[in-house]
Structure 1
Amino acid sequence: MQRLIGLLGRVRERAPSSSASAPCAAGDPELREDGRGGLHSMAARGDLAQLRRSWWWKRLRINWRNAERQTPLHLACVNGHADVVRFLARKKCQLNPRDNFKKSPLMKAVEHQHEDCVAILLEHGASPNLRDGSGNTALHMAALLPSKPLAALLLEHNAHIDAQNKLGYTPLTTAITRCHEEMVEFLLQKGADVHAQDNHKRTPLMIAALVGDLNVIQLLLRHGADISHRDQFNYTAMSYAHMHPEYPSISTHLKENKACEMREECSIRGAEDIAGLNSSSSGKTTDMSLGAPQLPEAGRIV
């Protein structure tokens, strides 16, 4: 009997502590960590020391998402905490998760120009060719900034230089839309396709003529851009140049380049062909190369 009474006493002593522990565990903000707490906040502020101290029980949450579907790696990249990025990458976190806008940690690092974070991610195998919600790759973003060091780093890790976004724009075309002449020259030197076509079959030269950037036009022509190409509206680069009366030098330069091309074609045919061409079609050649094209209807451009 005494043994039974003692056993009941021990049960009564344990009951309160056991019942009290349940609500305490449920109410602990660390244990019910939401998307913005714990690893996310440590990664965002670059608190590597705290991250290491609490890693033993937080390691299972390394790929958790917050409300924007960002992982701790996203936030470390946004804020440029390279040591945290390296720590998470070495702990085998997912390197290519996408947030609500389908942007990967690498894209966020490029957007915020954190070159060291970009380098670490690429070294650990992050993909440079993922596309965000607009179809842009990390190289498109580097071209928009513009940042030649980031673009070079991405290309060294097999970024597709002629990747197209949802508009059909390559990084080269994207740089042209912002008049980033140095980036245009850099991409051309790296082998970007000067004849790439967007969704309306417009070439980089046509976009440059539409933007009105004579320096970029000259760069493209030096790399073999085709003046005669027609898009789906039957427009040429000359047509787009004539949409900008304030840029007469553009159309003049295109005409001169066209005339030069035709002279080169003639020289290749030999002296006899040159004489025949000059005697039979001199007037037509002048009209084709120097004549002003008919102004297109503005309403047809989409």
Structure 2
Amino acid sequence: MKKIFGFGRKKKGDPPPGSAASPCPAGAYELRQKELGKLHRAAAAGDLAQVRQGLKKHSIDGRDKAQRTPLHLACANGHADVVTFLVENKCKLNLFDNDNRSPLMKAVQCQQEKCVAILLEHGADPNLADASGNTALHLAAAAPNVFLAGMLIEHSAHIDAQNKEGCTPLTLAVSEHHEEMVELLLKKGADVHARDLCERTPLMTAASGGELKLVKVLLRYGADLSHKDTNGWTAEDYAIIHGYAR
């Protein structure tokens, strides 16, 4: 089954292999210091004093060449004190970067739990979608980070939101073999019968990967064995086709 995320793909603007780069969390922005203004550089580095100084000359919501705000950069790198300062000074919470990702999405993708909590407490929208239709909850399911997923759901994240392939966070968690995440989503009311654009259910995804534990979990929550996708295949057919007849 096709992977939903391509986090490892090289994007335009990424530094060439072997180029110098500071260590950064998975999913964080690749930064070229020469392309960043003083305020953006300070936010990315977590230099609160320089952020304060920079706001005297620059807009708190100013964009760099990749449409990132200081809040995007602080969130991606886990600088909670800078995030708090920017939020308390009324920065805009829901602006998009070039990938249509909000600061909240970047904080979730980079698993910056404190930053996520600050943003949600101040009203950041958990239901915005990026260029692939993925919400913050999709990103949490992919991480996987059960704590972040629970926090997002508590702040009214749509648990059955579909991305452009029709996949919900549950479908993604199943495809990535994240049993704990699957359990959490189902306990919180995720639709066990969710269907993607090809009418495939989470049970079919689990069966095609030979994930017996996940199959059992999904069946326990009432997954339908008889449902057929656009090819007329059932979950059992998926298991057999992928070599898991037993």
- TM-score, L = length of structure 1: 0.69
- Give the distance between the partners of 2:43 and 2:37, measured in 1 at CA: 10
Paired residue type of 2:187:
Q
- The residue aligned with 1:219 is 217
Contact 2:71 2:83 in 1 (8 A): yes
Structure 1 residue 105, shift from structure 2 partner:
0.5
Structure 1 residue 54, shift from structure 2 partner:
4.5
Structure 1 residue 52, shift from structure 2 partner:
2.2
Corresponding residue SS for 1:101: coil
Q: Deviations over 1:163-217 (max 9, x none)?
A: 0001100000000111111111111111100011100111111111112111000
- The residue aligned with 2:130 is 132
Paired residue type of 2:229:
D
- The residue aligned with 2:245 is 248
- The residue aligned with 2:189 is 191
- The residue aligned with 1:64 is 62
* 1:76 correspondence with 2:74: yes
Structure 1 residue 56, shift from structure 2 partner:
3.2
Corresponding residue SS for 2:241: coil
- The residue aligned with 1:174 is 172
Q: Deviations over 1:128-158 (max 9, x none)?
A: 0011111100000100111000001101100
* Structure 2 residues not aligned, in runs of 5+: 1-33
Contact 1:35 1:65 in 2 (8 A): no
- Give the distance between the partners of 1:95 and 1:35, measured in 2 at CA: 23
- Give the distance between the partners of 2:168 and 2:55, measured in 1 at CA: 42
Contact 2:39 2:54 in 1 (8 A): no
Higher helix share goes to which structure?
Answer: 1
- The residue aligned with 1:96 is 94
Structure 1 residue 38, shift from structure 2 partner:
2.0
Paired residue type of 1:42:
A
Paired residue type of 2:61:
N
- Give the distance between the partners of 1:44 and 1:204, measured in 2 at CA: 38
Aligned in 2, Cα 1:72/1:54: closer, same or farther, shift over 3 Å?
Answer: closer
Aligned in 2, Cα 1:54/1:100: closer, same or farther, shift over 3 Å?
Answer: closer
Paired residue type of 2:129:
R
Structure 1 residue 35, shift from structure 2 partner:
6.5
- Give the distance between the partners of 2:128 and 2:201, measured in 1 at CA: 24
Contact 1:35 1:64 in 2 (8 A): no
Contact 1:129 1:137 in 2 (8 A): yes
Structure 1 residue 55, shift from structure 2 partner:
3.2
Corresponding residue SS for 2:56: helix
- Give the distance between the partners of 1:195 and 1:54, measured in 2 at CA: 51
Contact 2:135 2:161 in 1 (8 A): yes
- Give the distance between the partners of 1:149 and 1:140, measured in 2 at CA: 13
- Give the distance between the partners of 1:183 and 1:115, measured in 2 at CA: 16
* Structure 1 residues not aligned, in runs of 5+: 1-33, 250-302
Q: Percent identity?
A: 60
- The residue aligned with 2:11 is none
Aligned in 2, Cα 1:68/1:154: closer, same or farther, shift over 3 Å?
Answer: same
Cα RMSD, aligned residues only: 1.3
